[in-house]
Chains A and B, each alone.
Chain A
Amino acid sequence: MNVFRLLGDMSHLLAILILLLKMWKTRSCAGISGKTQILFALVFTTRYLDLFSSFISIYNTTMKLFFIASSYFTIFLMYSKFKATYDSNHDSFRMEFLVVPVGGLAFLVNHEFLPLEILWTFSIYLESVAILPQLFMVSKTGEAETITSHYLFALGSYRLLYIFNWVYRYYFDGFFDLIAVVAGCVQTILYCDFFYLYITKVLKGKKLSLPA
């Protein structure tokens, strides 16, 4: 474990807590893409299948359990409890356009042609594009609530911090995983224009609004 990975995990945890807080406080999931949340649940489900077969640490296990539980709880809130506030008209990104190509790529490009390894690879590739329905929804509505932009900033920062973690591990531990690094860079690049808007607008107290 290194400081970048710990900060990254905390940023990821913060993002999830911000989202849950926003929905619980406002009793609404307006502006949130349910499709992105479904994709995240798929990411965690396919990545943490070794949850019971390989024990790394208490921290690792509890974080995995929390990520899986919170992702399904978020879906429950969006599609059941606060269903009336779910904006399905603007959440129109076709998930199959992401899942199918990513599924094919995971079969073709992976470290080992084994079920667990292919599912892990699928999860890594899927996570890198899972935010697209959410960014698409923000661009369609043309704006996002401030708390939603904080959620997106924390979420985007987590994988950016993981990139620093991979640099650190490369130089100090000699570990390197090309698949995780490439997917992590793609994932972070997708947030770039949002990061720009967040830093130039939200941090100046303005509302996040995309140029129409």
Chain B
Amino acid sequence: KPWLDKKDEL
């Protein structure tokens, strides 16, 4: 899942 690679949440 793309989000897991880039953690965009603080």
Binding site for B on A (CB under 8 A): 5, 9, 12, 47, 50, 54, 56, 60, 63-64, 67, 111-112, 117, 120, 162, 165, 175, 177, 180
Contact = CB atoms under 8 A, between A and B. Distances in A.
B7 to A, nearest CB: 6
Nearest to B6: A54
Nearest to A67: B10
13 contacts: A9-B10, A50-B7, A54-B7, A56-B6, A56-B8, A60-B8, A60-B10, A63-B10, A67-B10, A112-B4, A162-B9, A177-B4, A180-B9
A120 B10 contact: no
Contacts of B8: 56, 60
A119 B7 CA distance: 13
Contacts of A175: 1, 3
Contacts, number: 25
Interface of B: 1, 3-4, 6-10
A21 B9 CA distance: 26
Nearest to B9: A5
A159 to B, nearest CB: 11
B2 to A, nearest CB: 9
A19 to B, nearest CB: 17
A64 to B, nearest CB: 7
Given A9-B10, A177-B4, A180-B9, 4 more contacts: A47-B7, A165-B9, A175-B1, A175-B3
Chain A to chain B: the 4 pairs with minimum beta-carbon distance, closest first:
A175-B3, A56-B8, A63-B10, A111-B4
A56 to B, nearest CB: 5
A47 B10 CA distance: 8
A177 B3 CA distance: 9
A120 B9 contact: no
Contacts of A5: 9
Nearest to B2: A175
Contacts of B7: 47, 50, 54, 120
Contact of B10 (A50, A64, A112): A64
Contacts of A177: 3-4
